[in-house]
Amino acid sequence: MNKTDIHRIWIDDKAIWIETTDGRLGCEYLASYSRLNNACHEDLEDFTLSYYGIHWPKLDEDLSFDGFFAKSGMRV
C-alpha cells in the first residue's frame, strides 16, 4: 500500500485512522506507541506523509500504511 491508496487520515482521542480509496478503514491505537500516546494533540496533528507511511518529525515516530491492516485485531 502506498500514499496513492490513501483517501484520508484522521486522529481521535484513542487512535489514528486511515481510509483507503477503496473504502477500507484501519486504525492504530495510540496506546500501542508511547511517543504517540504521550503526545499532545497539536503534535499528533503535525505529521507528514511519505510514499509508504506517516511520519511525526517532532515525535520521531513512523507508521507504515501497510501496518494499519497487517495485524489481527479490531479493524473496521
- pLDDT value of residue 68: 93
- CATH architecture of the domain with residue range 3-70: 2-Layer Sandwich (3.30)
Confidence of residue 70 (pLDDT cuts 50, 70, 90): confident
- pLDDT value of residue 76: 46
Can you tell me the distance from the alpha carbon of 31 to that of 35, in angstroms, rounded to the nearest whole number? 9
Q: What is the pTM of this model?
A: 0.86
pLDDT mean over 61-66: 95
CA angle 51, 54, 58 (to 5 degrees): 130
Per-residue model confidence as pLDDT tens digits over 29-63? 999 999 999 999 999 999 999 999 999 999 999 99
Q: From the centroid of its chain, how far is CA 14? A: 11
Domain-wise residue ranges, the chain? 3-70
- pLDDT value of residue 45: 97
Can you tell me the distance from the alpha carbon of 64 to that of 59, in angstroms, rounded to the nearest whole number? 15
Query: What values do phi and psi take at 34, rounded to 5?
Result: -60, -40
Can you tell me the distance from the alpha carbon of 24 to that of 75, in angstroms, rounded to the nearest whole number? 9
